[in-house]
Amino acid sequence: MSFRLEGFESTDFPTLENIALRSGCAGGYVYVVVLLFPDGAQLPFYVGETGGLWRRMWDYCSAQFKAPTDFRVGEAIRYFREKKYQVKLLYKASENPSKDEYELVRELQVSGLRLINGLAGYKYNTTLLDKERGYIRRFCDLIIAKCST
């Protein structure tokens, strides 16, 4: 299963070592984090919106456990990279990023995709880090298995 998202810029997902913090646009951005398979197929696994794109990517690269979304997305990216998959960032400027994110999440979900957006969150002060990491990795394994068949 592969999806083509029109009108998005594309770049390799940054790492802490190479991220460049750039200024944003007036309205904000909607973005998609995509898993790239060896055959060229790409599969979205997270959709987000932000006013500061590169600052947001920094949050995912640092993957702080006290910030559940940052941790889940960042850990998924790390796990996919450990498994030798490439991760891409697709992004575009948006006048109404919250609305565009909402519509894109719904569209991808009704297309049959599992997104981290739909994974239940956690409370960092009552959840064990290793247990949450295990859930994220199991979620990622489901994504890989779905596209490997």
Where in the chain are the domains?
A: 9-148
Q: How far apart are CA 72 and CA 117, in angstroms?
A: 10
Can you tell me the distance from the alpha carbon of 68 to that of 82, in angstroms, rounded to the nearest whole number?
A: 21
Yes or no: domain 9-148 corresponds to CATH 3.30.160: no
Question: Smallest Cα–Cα separation from 30: which of 82, 85, 108?
Answer: 108
Q: How many Å apart are CA 51 and CA 28, to the nearest integer?
A: 4
CB 136 within 8 A of CB 75: yes
Predicted confidence at residue 54, as pLDDT, reads 84
pLDDT value of position 3: 59
CA-angle at 142, arms to 35 and 121, nearest 5°: 85
**Ordered mean pLDDT values, 10 residues apiece, the chain (149 residues):** 75 74 68 92 94 89 94 97 95 94 95 91 90 96 81
Question: What pLDDT sits at residue 130?
Answer: 95
Owner of token pair 């002060």: 125
Q: What is the pLDDT, as a whole number, of residue 22? A: 58
Indicate the pTM of the whole model. 0.89
